Structure 1
Amino acid sequence: MGLGLLPLGLAFGVLITHAGLPWWCASLFTAVVYAGSFEFLLVNLALAVTPLATVALTAFLVNVRHVFYALSFPLDRVRGRLARTYSTFALTDEAYALTTGEQARSWSGARIVWLQVFMQLYWVGGATVGALLGSVVPNSVTGLDFAMTALFAVLALDAVREQRGDLPTPVLALLSALAARLFFPGQMLLAAFTLFTAALLTRESTTGKRTGEGASRA
């Protein structure tokens, strides 16, 4: 995953340079903001000198999914206030995807934190190098801002493959996204996560009741 973030960071760094921002903005954004897809949006917001209130609202709407991530992210394994603070700050889509899978159930808190540290180093390093070398990449190259979307698509495919015996979950996710796109196009991400969470809770409640009834009858 770290090696995957490296070219993604390069693309972000090149985008910074082509936008006319100084190269160090790439290092600053990736080290301090560290919000993936929002960083790509932040480039245009910075160029437009967008008011801070609008930037804050945009950041909230784009990253509100992290509220849902916190429901199952294994922060309880991380020891120490400093480590827990950094782990919360560095909770990205990639970190969540890696640490909540079946293979990560035995990982220690130290391994989780170091995983997040190295992933950010790949991201910051790639963006810095991309910004420094951005001048040699022709302006005719397009699609760099799609790199983050492509990575999300890969993560989604990996998640579906890990749940081969659980077809209803990806189907619920797809239906939630379609419903959000149809009824809440302006707040699609937040609406999709809310609908998906509600659907999972409803399914869990229904399944639990059925299991309890079956046990009582037996």
Structure 2
Amino acid sequence: MPEPDVPAASAQRREVAAAVRDTAAVGMGYLPLGAAFGILLVGSGLAWWWAPVFSVLIYAGSMEFLAISLVTGGVGLAQVALTTFFVNFRHVFYGLSFPLLEIRSTAGRLYGVHALTDEAYALLATRPHAQLTGTRVLATEILCHAYWVAGSTTGALLGSRLGLQVEGMGFALTALFVVLTIDAFRASPDVPTLVVALACAALALVVAPGSMLVIALTAFVLVLLARFALGGGHDT
């Protein structure tokens, strides 16, 4: 005899529970890193409540760290837009294989696009789509987002009320990128790309230290596009 259908509410609870298990490790990383962001934010002269505002509306860890210096440094809107574009450009490619269509509602899909991060992509895009439902995809993204908001808000409150020192906190973003670079290189060793990235950074630092990041990213993207074109579209 065929088994009876599982009630929808029970199935949703099971999917949410699976998302909780999947995101536990991400939460362990998001909470302290978010706290570091919150402490750095208030230490830079911004009110604590900017932490949840940044974390809800921007929700891009690396870009949020950069936003602190961009906002407090009086950087022009054009440079902010260009920096944001290059820092988050990889998300365009994430969207090609992200299981967004599992989410049925329009509002859910819009949030799914907003909450697409490196970690959410790593958790969901590598799973067979047959194992995923819209509930699980949304729950995974919501939980990751909640961890980050909780961590950043807690850090900002502690920083503002306890007067925590921020020396060294600014290095958290650099450390994050170093770890991501090491992990990416281990997964796919590519010495030429690494050398090109370092060369672009060094050149930008010499040519225009004040706009080093934008120039380095622009040069790096142009070199990669030229390399891809010369390789006949088969380079990775």
TM range (shorter): 0.7 to 0.9
TM-score by length of 1: 0.74
| Post-superposition offset of 1:13 | 0.5
1:46/1:155 Cα in 2 relative to 1: closer, same or farther (>3 Å)?
closer
| Map of 2:115 onto structure 1 | 90
Give the whole-Å Cα distance in 1 for the aligned partners of 2:179 and 2:99. Answer: 22
| Post-superposition offset of 1:17 | 1.0
| Map of 1:3 onto structure 2 | 28
SS across alignment from 2:108: helix
| Post-superposition offset of 1:55 | 1.4
TM-score by length of 2: 0.69
SS across alignment from 1:61: helix
Flag structure 2 segments of 5+ consecutive residues without an equivalent. Answer: 1-25, 205-214
| Map of 1:49 onto structure 2 | 74
Identity of aligned residues (%): 43
* Alignment of structure 1 residues 40-189 onto 2, 5 Å: 40-102=65-127, 106-135=131-160, 136=162, 138-139=164-165, 141-152=166-177, 170-172=188-190, 174-182=191-199, 186-188=215-217
1:27/1:194 Cα in 2 relative to 1: closer, same or farther (>3 Å)?
farther
Flag structure 1 segments of 5+ consecutive residues without an equivalent. Answer: 164-169, 205-218
Give the whole-Å Cα distance in 2 for the aligned partners of 1:109 and 1:130. Answer: 32
Work out whether 1:202 is the aligned partner of 2:228: no
1:191 to 220, 226, 231: 220
Corresponding residue pairs, total:
195
Q: Kindly report the root-mean-square deviation, in angstroms, between the aligned alpha carbons of the 2 structures.
A: 3.1
8 Å contact from structure 2 (residues 86, 217) kept in 1: no
8 Å contact from structure 1 (residues 35, 92) kept in 2: yes
2:53 to 18, 28, 32: 28
1:99/1:194 Cα in 2 relative to 1: closer, same or farther (>3 Å)?
farther
Task: Encode CA deviations 1:141-199: one digit per residue, 9 max, x unaligned.
Answer: 533233344445555666778x6xxxxxx024x53232233357533488369839947
Q: Which moves more between the two structures, 190-199 or 69-78?
A: 190-199
Q: 1:187 is matched by which residue type in structure 2?
A: A
Q: Which moves more between the two structures, 145-154 or 109-118?
A: 145-154
Give the whole-Å Cα distance in 1 for the aligned partners of 2:49 and 2:132. Answer: 35
